Amino acid sequence: MSAENELLSVEDARARSLALASPLAVEWVRLDEALGRALGADVTAQRTLPPWDNSAMDGYAVRSADLLSPLPVRLAVGEIIHAGEMPEVELRPGVCARIMTGAPLPVGADAVVMQERTRAIASEGAEGPAVEILEAVPPGTFVRPRGEDARAGEPLLARGTPLGIPELGLFTAQGMLTVPVPRRPRVAILSTGDELCRADEPPEGRIVDTNAPSLALAVARAGGIPTLLGIARDTQEEVSARLADAQGFDVVITSAGVSVGERDFVKAALHEQGVEMNFWRVAIKPGKPLAVGRRGNTLYFGLPGNPISSLVTFELFVRPVLRKLLGHTDVEPARVSGRLDGSLRKSAGLAHYIRVAAIWRDGELWARPLATQTSGALRSAASATHLLHFPREASSLAHGEHVVLLPVSWIA
Ligand code: AMP
Ligand code: MG
């Protein structure tokens, strides 16, 4: 068995990471703070909406049975009902009501004929106003039925439902000002490396820590609350001390120092801090050294140090976990299908995630691999739109082949 066979597959690694997580405690937040989060409890409707059958068109409310005679049918026009008014009289046979979009249907009416299918008739003396209806309509035509949106006492939306704008609109219509959602995960981010400095320091032979600020943006975009813990030097004591200080977080992310280098102390430090390691090393490029574990209710991710490796492993492993903590049920990375604009080769053993720029051309999504695929070059991700999944056992992908693309969450 080669060493690479002992590596976890990406799918298994994600499943094992997700198994460590469950949705966080529910809090009630204002609707504008709930956008993009998942509902934390089943919600029952308090109001029936719409409260009455109402018109979907400007036109005439009719008894559909009145239109069974040869067309056009002439009907007397009773009252005019605008949106915001209640009808006052029941519709008798041979009579219709002028009605505007959103106005409640009068008792007796069962359909609406749109204005464009009618011809108004000038009022003639004592007979009052009338209209010619040019088409027959079945019952229910252009009627928005009572309770179409919600029925009081019945389920409105289920726990786990992602809260987009229409869902929040439903709550607004119910008069709900707050909704229950799992609270946002608190995420600590620690950079490790003797070579690192902050962006506001003179480098003096060091390189700027880009991972922590990048991961903080990715965490925030995924719905978490990031806290930067700064830079730890490459000693087990310092990494361990920083981890010990990181209390009260749901997730702790470290970057770098997780491989087999002489100064890679993250795993030892996690162990020293009592973190139970779940796995280490995944059959993936970029990002093979990756450590995941748990202590109490805190999950630990030791991400690799190369800037692209940390971003890719965040996408594939951390983001799904943050989504699960946030109560989402659909946590797998999104995928779309495209075609390869180029050709790719590799040896079997690791799944590769290739940075591509995908564009819509001739009715299809074409994915062009970016020229640079080294995991150290941030520039190579600058114009990437997706990660192309080059499966573990595959060794070549030909031009035009259908490929699986993962939209990345880091793009503008
Ligand atoms: P390591 O995993 O410690 O061997 O680091 C792998 C590579 O990632 C090295 O070239 C590091 O200099 C680089 N690196 C590590 N941490 C960071 C960071 N926070 N920001 C940018 N590059 C980093
Ligand atoms: Mg290092």
pLDDT for 236 beyond 80? yes
Per-residue model confidence (pLDDT) at position 6: 83
Length of the chain: 412
Distance 255 CA to ligand 1 centre (A): 7
Nearest ligand to the CA of 209 is 1
Q: How confident is the model at residue 4 (pLDDT cuts 50, 70, 90)?
A: low
Ligand 1 close to Cβ of residue 286 (< 6 A): no
Distance 248 CA to ligand 2 centre (A): 26
CATH 3.90.105.10 residue window(s) in the chain: 28-49+149-182
Interatomic CA distance for residues 321 and 17, integer angstroms? 7
Interatomic CA distance for residues 283 and 267, integer angstroms? 18
pLDDT for 7 beyond 60? yes
Max Cα distance, the chain (Å): 103
pLDDT for 227 beyond 60? yes
**Intra-chain end-to-end CA distance of the chain, in Å:** 43
CA distances from 204 to 132, 201, 207, 278, 378 (A): 87, 9, 8, 38, 21
pLDDT tens track for 153-212: 999 999 999 999 999 999 999 999 999 999 999 999 999 999 999 999 999 999 999 999
The whole-model pTM stands at: 0.93
For 28-49+149-182, CATH gives 3.90.105.10
Contacts 24+ apart (CB under 8 A), 303-306: 303/211, 303/215, 303/253, 303/254, 303/255, 303/256, 303/258, 304/255, 304/256, 304/258, 304/259, 304/375, 305/192, 305/193, 305/211, 305/255, 305/256, 305/257, 305/258, 305/259, 306/375, 306/376
Burial 208-222 (b: 16+ CB within 10 A, else e): ebbbbbbbbebbeeb
Ligand 1 close to Cβ of residue 240 (< 6 A): no
Q: How confident is the model at residue 1 (pLDDT cuts 50, 70, 90)?
A: very low
Q: Which of 196, 301, 375 to mutate to test the pocket of ligand 1 (most atoms within 8 A of CB)?
A: 196
Nearest ligand to the CA of 290 is 1
Nearest ligand to the CA of 260 is 1
CATH class of residue range 54-144: mainly beta
Residue for token pair 């991710």: 301
Per-residue model confidence (pLDDT) at position 122: 75
Give the closest residue (by CA) to ligand 1 atom 23. Answer: 305
Interatomic CA distance for residues 38 and 43, integer angstroms? 12
CATH class of residue range 336-407: mainly beta
CATH 2.40.340.10 residue window(s) in the chain: 336-407
CATH 3.40.980.10 residue window(s) in the chain: 10-24+184-325
Distance 257 CA to ligand 2 centre (A): 4
Q: How confident is the model at residue 322 (pLDDT cuts 50, 70, 90)?
A: very high
Ligand 1 close to Cβ of residue 118 (< 6 A): no
Interatomic CA distance for residues 303 and 266, integer angstroms? 10
Distance 138 CA to ligand 2 centre (A): 74
Q: 410 near 220, Cβ under 8 Å?
A: no
pLDDT for 3 beyond 70? no
Q: 48 near 95, Cβ under 8 Å?
A: no
pLDDT tens track for 21-72: 999 999 999 999 999 999 999 999 999 999 999 999 999 999 999 999 999 9
* 374 CA to centre of own chain: 29
CATH 2.170.190.11 residue window(s) in the chain: 54-144
Residue 369 sits at the vertex; the CA angle it makes with 365 and 370, to the nearest 5 degrees, is: 125
- Which residues partner with 254 through β-bridges? 190, 302
Three-state secondary-structure class, residue 324: helix
Instruction: From the options 3.30.413.10, 3.40.50.2300, 3.40.980.10, 3.40.50.720, give the CATH code of 10-24+184-325.
Output: 3.40.980.10
Type of residue found at 284: I
| Atom nearest to 210 CA in ligand 1 | 20
- Which of 35-39, 121-125, 250-254, 373-377 is least confident? 121-125
Distance 105 CA to ligand 1 centre (A): 68
Q: Stretch 70-87: mean pLDDT, rounded?
A: 97
**Tokens at residue 59, please?**
């036109």
Give the closest residue (by CA) to ligand 1 atom 16. Answer: 305
